[in-house]
Amino acid sequence: MFSILVLHGPNLNLLGKREPGVYGSVPLEAINSLLENEAKAVGAIVSIFQSNHEGALVDAIHAAADRHQGLVINAGAYTHTSVAIRDAIAAVNLPTVEVHLSNIYRREEFRHHSYIAPVAIGQISGFGSDSYILGLQALVRHLKKSAR
């Protein structure tokens, strides 16, 4: 059974209330429940962490190296600004899937660049809360293929 760390970045604790036209109306707690159920269905377990603080996310990534086999991350706005999160992912060398609720390429120009994408095995955006489920499924499939 694979252990996956799911990280939610800044402002994602406000899902369901924050700009529902962009981010949807599903609260973070419901997304976490969906992730836990999907993890069971695909033979994995998830540990879930949300922080509005860059350093806390970096610390969680560092700690993941000894505890988890993969990472699903929605770094929120840090996607477009944080070299520190990018470097942490590169340092631990865990297979990582970047996810976004909205299609970042249909939004403001500054959101089109991701510091995380070059160190991730893939990126999923634009499917609302399903982006997390698709990301988890893709990561577990990748891990199963790599284990063969």
pLDDT in tens, 95-120: 999 999 988 888 778 788 999 999 99
Sequence-ordered alpha helix ranges (H) in 16-148: 20-23, 28-42, 54-64, 83-92, 130-147
Among 8, 23, 68, 115, the one annotated catalytic: 23
Average confidence (pLDDT) over 125-144: 97
DSSP string, 106-118: GS-GGGG--SSGG
pLDDT in tens, 38-78: 999 999 999 999 999 999 999 999 999 999 999 999 999 99
Give the total number of structural domains in the chain: 1
Average confidence (pLDDT) over 90-99: 98
Give the per-residue pLDDT at 20: 66
**Are the CB atoms for 132 and 35 separated by under 8 Å?**
yes
Residue 25 pLDDT greater than 80, yes or no:
no
Residue 136 pLDDT greater than 70, yes or no:
yes
Residue 122 pLDDT greater than 80, yes or no:
yes
Among 68, 78, 100, 115, the one annotated catalytic: 100
Rg, Å, the chain Cα set = 14
Which residues form the domain of 98? 2-147
Average confidence (pLDDT) over 83-105: 95
8 catalytic per annotation: no
HSE toward the beta carbon, residue 46, CA cutoff 13 A:
27
* pLDDT confidence bin for 133, thresholds 50/70/90: very high
CATH code of residue 59: 3.40.50.9100
23 catalytic per annotation: yes
Residue 23 pLDDT greater than 80, yes or no:
no
Specify the 3-state DSSP secondary structure of 86.
helix
